[in-house]
Amino acid sequence: MDVNGGDRAVVRDLAKRVAEIADLPVQAERRELWTRHDALEKVRPLIYIEPEGSWGELLPAKVFRCNDNELRGIEWQLRARIYRHEHLKDDVVIEKQFDVGKAISNTGWGLEPKRVNCTEERGAWAFDPVVKEPADLKKLRFPRVTHDEKETARRLALVEDLLGDILKVRLKGVSHVSFHLMSIYTALRGLVEVMMDMYENPGMLHEAMGFLADGSRNLVRQYEDMNLLSLNNDGTYHSSGGFGYTRELPAPGFDPARVRPRDMWASAEAQELAQVSPEMHDEFSLAYEKELLAPFALNGYGCCEDLTRKLDYVFRIPNIRRISISPFADVEACAAKLADRYIYSWKPHPSHLVGEFNAGHVREYFRHAIEATRGCVLEIILKDTHTCENHPERFTRWSEICREELDAAYA
């Protein structure tokens, strides 16, 4: 691929800045903290800020200079890392590397979800069910994995040519393994319909979940057979918060030429079941998710669903290590349950970044949670920040307040 000289200069200059940041001693310090934290050692709580939907306000289109779309994607990744270092000031390690993803895809589940879209930009949408009766489940198919080796080689050659003398270029296959059975099914069946099926047609729901679990297991088997799995015991994002740094992986008997599930982290979640009973959550989701997670060495569970009353079931997941404590959870009750036996992956409420930014309220909110979780293996993960109302400085101030309160509590 011929790269425009101007585009080349842009990404190379940004990569040089990333390399400078990656060479700072603080990166090694943070890497070691994450490693000890993931091993359940007592270190200070770690902070991760993920702007998600707010990135467009932090890095608006006008700041980008590359003309080619692929190069612009590389530019975005580099600018985001620099912005994180200069403004977010969390505990994410800025590594001196650039990952190139293999060209992996699959054929899907045989049915495509439909939505009733909103007329407003970024507005809410509604489910438009395509599974209307039990017979429609027969239309589902297991996804078939494909790997375009030629495209993978092209991507790798492009990035190595652009950045290989500045950053370590790594080829990565499937390294983030996460199961979302209920999300897949509600997209096809509809959320209200799934809720009603728990009472009126549980057999249909079990049939669907069993099929999706078998299909997901088959996906992992294909990844393994095609040698497409990659280690995630590094800065790979894990579950709904935190990173995979650990000396516990890969497992004994590891062959660097072939990664196995037992060499990896994995996770699952069922946000759609936030309002159902612990027993129903276990019956219709966790029962299937536990079997999917069993082959993996370390596991996480949860996202935005409140697991306060469901933790006893979550603890039954094989090799469970990281548990998401949502903004809606009871922080004291969860702290008593998790203690120092699991990573307490706390998600502060993202609504603090919209409306009037009340620094005093944010400070008291942190102070309460930090005190309630004393003795836990705490990480603080700000995510689901769909907007900051074009006030990027709110992220910086949020981070400063969080760190001030942690410093005061863990001095």
Is 24 part of a structural domain of the chain?
Answer: no
Average pLDDT, stretch 297-322? 98
Domain with 118 in it: 109-142+173-321
348 DSSP assignment: -
Question: 3-class DSSP state for residue 328?
Answer: coil
Tens of pLDDT, residues 124-146: 999 999 999 999 999 999 999 99
Give the β-pairing of 343-346 and 377-382: parallel
Is 16 part of a structural domain of the chain?
Answer: no
Residue 200: is its pLDDT beyond 90? yes
Count of domains observed in the chain: 1
Tens of pLDDT, residues 151-186: 999 999 999 999 999 999 999 999 999 999 999 999
H/E stretch holding 169 reads strand 168-172
Average pLDDT, stretch 11-32? 98
Cα 230 to the center of its chain, rounded Å: 16
Residue 251: is its pLDDT beyond 70? yes
Question: Would you say 311 and 331 are in contact if contact means Cβ atoms under 8 Å apart?
Answer: no
> What is the residue type of 328?
F
Tens of pLDDT, residues 344-360: 999 999 999 999 999 99
Q: Would you state the structure tokens that stand for residue 62, as one six-digit string?
A: 């006008």
Which pLDDT score is estimated for 121?
Answer: 82
Q: What is the pTM of this model?
A: 0.96
Residue 372: is its pLDDT beyond 90? yes
Which pLDDT score is estimated for 82?
Answer: 98
Beta bridge partners of 298: 265
**Listed residue (396, 382, 372) closest to 345, CA to CA:** 382
Which pLDDT score is estimated for 1?
Answer: 62
Is 299 part of a structural domain of the chain?
Answer: yes
> What is the residue type of 96?
K
Per-residue confidence at 411, pLDDT binned at 50, 70, 90? confident
Which pLDDT score is estimated for 199?
Answer: 96
Is 258 part of a structural domain of the chain?
Answer: yes
Question: Would you say 68 and 113 are in contact if contact means Cβ atoms under 8 Å apart?
Answer: no
Half-sphere exposure of 410 (CA within 13 A, CB side): 18
% of residues, the chain, pLDDT over 90: 96
Phi-psi region of 228 (alpha: psi -120 to 50; beta: other; left: phi over 0): alpha
Is 120 part of a structural domain of the chain?
Answer: yes
